[in-house]
Every structure is written in C-alpha cells, then in structure tokens.
Structure 1
Amino acid sequence: MSRIWIMPLAAALLIGCSEEKIPEPARPALYVVAQPELAQNLGRFAGTIEARYESTLGFRVPGRIVRRYYDVGAVVKQGDILASLDPTDQQNNLRAARGDLAKVQAQLINAKANARRQQELFDRGVGAQAQLDIAQTDLKTTQASMQQAVAAVNQAQDQLSYCTLRADHDAVITDWQAEAGQVVSVGEEVVTLARPDIKEAVIDLPGPLADALPTGIEFRVAGQLDPNVNTAAHVREIAPQADSATRTHRTRLTLSQTPAAFRLGSSVSVTVSSPIAEHFKIPLSALQETDNHSQVWVIDPTTHAVNPRDVTVLRRDAHNVLLSGGVKSGDKIVSAGVHSLNPGQTVRLDKESSQ
C-alpha cells in the first residue's frame, strides 16, 4: 500500500517542478548617455594667426638695393638695418652741398669785413651812406645764403641716411617685396614687418553669416595640429565688402589668450556657435513613435529596468534627433531595438554607443 501512495506523490512533485517558470535572462542593450547641448554649431572655418599690427616700409629716396640684411621670419629690434641702397648719388650731393656751404662761408667773411670797413669810414665822415647801405645789404644777403647752404647740407645728410632702411619697432619680417639689385622708387614697398606681441585669428565667413551674426555668438580658436590648444575669441573687425571670388568676408578675431603654440602664420580651426536653450541630441534609432507621440526608453540606473518616457522632438535629420524636453542630463537611453522592449524589462548594459 505504501508504494501505491508514494508513486502518485512523486509524479505530482515532478509535474509541479515542470510548471515552475524559468527566469528570462536579461537582454543586452546598447545605450547612449544624454548630454545637454547649450550651443548651436554654426560651422567650422580654417584660419591663420596673424599680427594685429603690420607695417610696410620703403625707402624715402630712389636707388638700387645693394643688400638685404635679414630673411623672412627674422626677429629684428627697433633701429636694426633691414636693407641699404647704393649711396653714390647721395654722397655726391652731400659733397656738392658742403662745397656750396664753404663758398658761402667765405663770402660771408668777406661781406662782414666789407660792412665793418664801410661802417668805420662812415663813422669818420669819409664814407658815403650809399656805400654803407650796399655793404650792409650784401651782408644780409650772404647771411641768408649761409642759412640756405646749411639747410642744403642737412638735407643732403638726411638723403644719405635714407639710403639705409631701419626697423621702426621690434618686429618679425613677414615678407620682402624687393630683391637685392632691384631699383626702387620713393615709397615703393620693400619689406613688411609684423609686431609679434599682439596676435589675432583671421578667417573668412560666408556672406549670410557675416551679415547677420546672432546675438551672443561664440568663437573658439584651436590649433590645427593640437586641438587641445584653444582659446575663446570675439570679433574685432569684419570686412564690409565681400571677396569677389569667394563671396566671403574677411573677419579678424581678438584672442582672449595667446598660447605659445599660436605662432605667426600657424593654421587654426575656428568653431562658431550660438547659445540656445538646453536640448539633447540622440540617435534616431533611439526614438519610438506610437499613437502620435514620441518616446524613448530610459534605463533605471539601479535596477536596469527600462521604461518609456515621452519626449518633445525639436527636429531630426537622417541620423539624429534633437529633443527639447523629456530627458535629463545623465539619463541612459536605449539606442537600438526599442520596438521589442516591454515596460519594466531588465536589460544588461552592453556598451555605450557613439552618437
């Protein structure tokens, strides 16, 4: 009798075990972390670092360049000689002016002696008034000629000094427009100097953007070789006239800081952005739209359970969607397979996907 009862009991126990539900394994899920975007990217433009102050120098006298003392990129101090002309003509002019001065000096000595002699004769009553007047007039004329001759010598000396082109301030040579042996005229551009102490970034902005820059626009200047070297900037000057070929406006930006890596002529990348209300950009695959409303699946950070959350879509493109509300910074959002999820379902965090 005992065997008869034991067998049905064992069978019942086996049936009960077979009906017990086996827990479903957690499903792996790709996810993205919601990061707020507070600025709208308006574009990235290539630019260069240039000196804010540049000057182009030329000779003040015509002549043939006999020597250039520095090459492009050289650092010069105020007063350093940059180039020189053949001084032969100016030296001859100086010799002629000095000769004229010596001649007038001799004439002045004679005129003074004659005027003094005529004055003595007139004082003794043996000289005529007319002779005295002529002598005094000759003296004054010779004195005026003396002043003119001195001025001519000074001018000739200045002309000779102008054969030497000197730096008018501490600078870096950025360009030569004339070569040794070339004949230049007065004021013709010879060399360009840039002051290295104040630098700025120069870019070309498209016409529509340059004509209507948003309020609070931000510029971030970064090195092409090392983007980690960067600084903020603001507009100093926008060319009023667009380039005839590119239809862009040359824009000069004042740097908030000047990193040592920003050397004159170095290439930079300038990012232009405008502040906007907080929004979040997520992959389009993370968005689920049902019954005329949009939602995303948010992963609970403690239980790893997923639940839908309604969101407000600002705009979308072929790959991403921009949300203006519904999520918070740091939320983990499922980025793939959202149509097969159920509320409260537990997922295994596989890896964060790139946006």
Structure 2
Amino acid sequence: MQYLVLSLLTLLLVGCQEQAPQTSSDADPRWVKTAVVMADTARALSLTGVLRARHETPQAFRISGQIATRHVDAGQSVRLGEVLFTLDPSDLEETLAASRAELAAAQASLAVAEADLVRDRQLLEQNYLSRQAFERAELSMREATTRRDAANARLAESRNALGYATLRAEADGVLIDVNGEPGQVVGTGQTVARLAHDGPREVEVSFPAHWRPPQKGELQVGERQIALTRREVAGAVDPATLTWRARYRLEELLEERGLGDVVEARFMLNDTKATGYFRVPVAALDERGNGSQLWQVVDGKAQPLPVTPERTTREHVWISGEGLEEGQAVISLGTHLLTPGMAVRPLSEEVAP
C-alpha cells in the first residue's frame, strides 16, 4: 500500500513538471520590432517619368491593300522621305491603266464634238441648219469637255493612289514601334509604325489623383538637375489608374538618355498637400485579405489599424487614415504573422540579463 501511494505521488509530480513549461511558453509574449510613424511634412515629391519626343505620330497608308515590303525596324533612325513600307501595286496599276484609257476615249469624243460644232456653225451661217440643231451641237461639245475633265481627275486620282502605295517617313526621327509585316492586309489609316520626331524632348509623368501637377519641376540625372516646365496636363483623371497624366518640357538637351527611358523627376508641392499623410517602412504595411493595415501595440497586445496607402517607394510607404499620429509606434517586421489580440512586446523594452 505504501508503495502504491509513492508511485502515484511520483506520477503526479512528473505530470506537473511536463505541463509547467507549456503554460509558461503560452504566457510569454512575442518580441516584435517597432518603428515610429513620421508625418509627411516634406514639400518635395519624387516620381518616375518616361522620356518622350515632343511629336510622336503614327505612320499609316492613305489607301488599303496588302503590304509587299518592309524596309525598317523598331529603333531605327530614318530621314524625311525614306521608304518605310510598300503595298502590292497590281490593282493600282490596273486602275491607272483603265483611267488612261478612259481619258483617251473622252479626248476622242471631245475631238468629234469639236469637229461637229465647226461644221454645224458653217451650215448655220449658210442657213442649212436650224438654230435648235446648232445649240444641240454646242451642248454635246460641253458634255464631251466635262467628260474629258472628269477622266483627267480620275487619272490624277489613280496616279496619287499608286504613289500612296509607298509609305515614306514624314520627318526625321526614330521609329519607336513597327508592327506592319509583309503579307498583312491593312486598311486606310491603320497604324503600321510610330515615329518620334527629332527635336525637343519631354517627360511624361503620372501624378496621384489628389495632387494636381505643378507648373515647375526638375529632372534628376545623376548629379545633374534639368529644369522642367509643364506643357500640358490631361483634362481629367485616368479612371483606370486614378492619375493625372502630365507632359513636361526639358529646358536643356539630354543626349545621354534615349526615348522610353525611365527617369526620376522631382516637384515642389504646397505644404497643404502633405497634410494628413504619414510615412512608415514598407515592411510595416500588412495587406492581407481585409485591406491595408498597420499593427500597433495596445496593452501588450497586437491590434490592427486600417490605413489607405497613397504612394510607395522601395523603403517607405505614405499612408493616411484615422487614428494615425506622428511619433506613434507600429510593428515594422513580421506583420503577416500577427493576429488580433496576440501578446507582443517591443524589443525596445527588452532588458539585458
């Protein structure tokens, strides 16, 4: 009996020792790294833009047909009048031949009408022809003349159409896009290439919907700053991207960059535009399921705080939302592992042994 009691006491002590560490582990909060919410009081806004030509025009045939030859590639420099594409001229040449034959027939008819009018005038003078018959000859003469003029116009139109079968560059520049291929049937006005004219260069920038593009800015090219002046801005916000599209003229030449290059532009904004926006590290933003949120420590527990992202860079994100204050501490690492009410403890509270 005494041995049985000792065995039961031993098992009870072992069970308590195995359960105690588990209870202690559940009670220990997770150590978390925190960062401070910073108010966005800076008046400078840095955005990326794309280098464009002042004039970019689509190149297209003025008639429909099948492409016979292609003489250029994307990225190629071309000169004014240089051949880009040609169409199959077979039908156009037949039309030109028919127009020439029609003109010849009209000219022959006109010659006959002229001869008849001369003869009828002589007969009228000798009283061998009535005035009515002579006037009918005059009308035939006018009709033949009109037919001759119409045939001339159709011949000129056919010649122009044959000339339109050769597409030439309308200016000096660079082809930034070429999509026509031999054998392709194209319609009148269908774009087969896009030409960026030589000359002034511009920067196209997209601004967030809540910032109206300013009049001035500067382009950052290494250690060099090039002044920018706004030339145009879209009349409305793009509904797909919720941005203002603006074009800025470069006040200096920029030869070291090519068309389509992504560049960095900086703009000065009014302080009122920055009111209500805060900056936190990118890692602090949690965008799981229910929208964007930050995590703050409230009474030793992690609690979500809904926010709205406004702009993001590699290191920081600009946000807005209710309950945000400058200097507020938020969890800045491992936010994807947090759950509401989880016990946490900032590393700043860690005490050395």
TM-score normalised by L of structure 1: 0.61
- The one-letter amino acid paired with 1:94 is L
Equivalent position to 1:56, from 58, 68, 80: 58
Q: In the alignment, is the contact (CA less than 8 A) between 1:49 and 1:264 conserved in 2?
A: yes
User: Counterpart in 1 of 2:257?
Assistant: 262
Q: In the alignment, is the contact (CA less than 8 A) between 1:205 and 1:248 conserved in 2?
A: yes
- The one-letter amino acid paired with 1:268 is V
Question: What is the deviation of 1:191?
Answer: 1.6
- List alignment gaps of at least 5 residues for structure 1: 1-38, 277-314, 319-355
Q: In the alignment, is the contact (CA less than 8 A) between 2:80 and 2:168 conserved in 1?
A: yes
User: Counterpart in 2 of 1:249?
Assistant: 244
Question: What is the deviation of 1:274?
Answer: 4.5
Compared CA separation, residues 274 and 244, structure 1 to 2 (3 A) = closer
- The one-letter amino acid paired with 1:134 is R
Question: What is the deviation of 1:43?
Answer: 2.8
User: Counterpart in 2 of 1:198?
Assistant: 200
Question: What is the deviation of 1:316?
Answer: 7.9
Identity across the alignment (%): 29
- Structure 2: how far apart are the matches of 1:132 and 1:202? 73
- The one-letter amino acid paired with 2:248 is L
Q: In the alignment, is the contact (CA less than 8 A) between 2:99 and 2:155 conserved in 1?
A: yes
Equivalent position to 1:136, from 132, 135, 138: 138
Question: What is the deviation of 1:78?
Answer: 1.8
Paired positions, count: 236
- The CA deviation string for residues 250-288 of structure 1, in whole angstroms up to 9 with x for no partner, is 221111212211321222111223488xxxxxxxxxxxx
Q: In the alignment, is the contact (CA less than 8 A) between 2:47 and 2:205 conserved in 1?
A: yes
Q: Does 1:209 align with 2:211?
A: yes
- List alignment gaps of at least 5 residues for structure 2: 1-40, 272-324, 329-353
Question: What is the deviation of 1:185?
Answer: 0.9
Question: What is the deviation of 1:148?
Answer: 0.8
Secondary structure of the residue aligned to 2:73 is coil
Secondary structure of the residue aligned to 2:212 is helix
- Structure 1: how far apart are the matches of 2:102 and 2:250? 58
Q: In the alignment, is the contact (CA less than 8 A) between 1:229 and 1:259 conserved in 2?
A: no
Compared CA separation, residues 260 and 317, structure 1 to 2 (3 A) = farther
Query: Which sits farther off after the overlay, 92-101 or 124-133?
Result: 124-133
Structure 1 residue ranges, 4+ long, deviating more than 4 angstroms after superposition: 315-318
- The CA deviation string for residues 136-187 of structure 1, in whole angstroms up to 9 with x for no partner, is 2211111111111111111111111111112222221111242221111111
Q: In the alignment, is the contact (CA less than 8 A) between 2:178 and 2:192 conserved in 1?
A: yes
Question: What is the deviation of 1:210?
Answer: 2.4
Secondary structure of the residue aligned to 1:221 is strand
Secondary structure of the residue aligned to 1:244 is coil
Question: What is the deviation of 1:131?
Answer: 3.0
User: Counterpart in 1 of 2:151?
Assistant: 149
- The one-letter amino acid paired with 2:99 is A
- The one-letter amino acid paired with 1:240 is G
- The one-letter amino acid paired with 1:219 is G
Compared CA separation, residues 110 and 228, structure 1 to 2 (3 A) = same
TM-score normalised by L of structure 2: 0.61
- Structure 2: how far apart are the matches of 1:262 and 1:150? 52
Secondary structure of the residue aligned to 1:258 is coil
- The CA deviation string for residues 206-236 of structure 1, in whole angstroms up to 9 with x for no partner, is 122227x5xxx7522123xxx1243121222
The two structures, once aligned, show a CA RMSD in angstroms of 2.5
- Structure 1: how far apart are the matches of 2:174 and 2:50? 16
Secondary structure of the residue aligned to 2:202 is strand
- Structure 1: how far apart are the matches of 2:219 and 2:327? 28
Q: Does 1:234 align with 2:229?
A: yes
Equivalent position to 2:190, from 176, 188, 191: 188
- Structure 1: how far apart are the matches of 2:224 and 2:327? 32
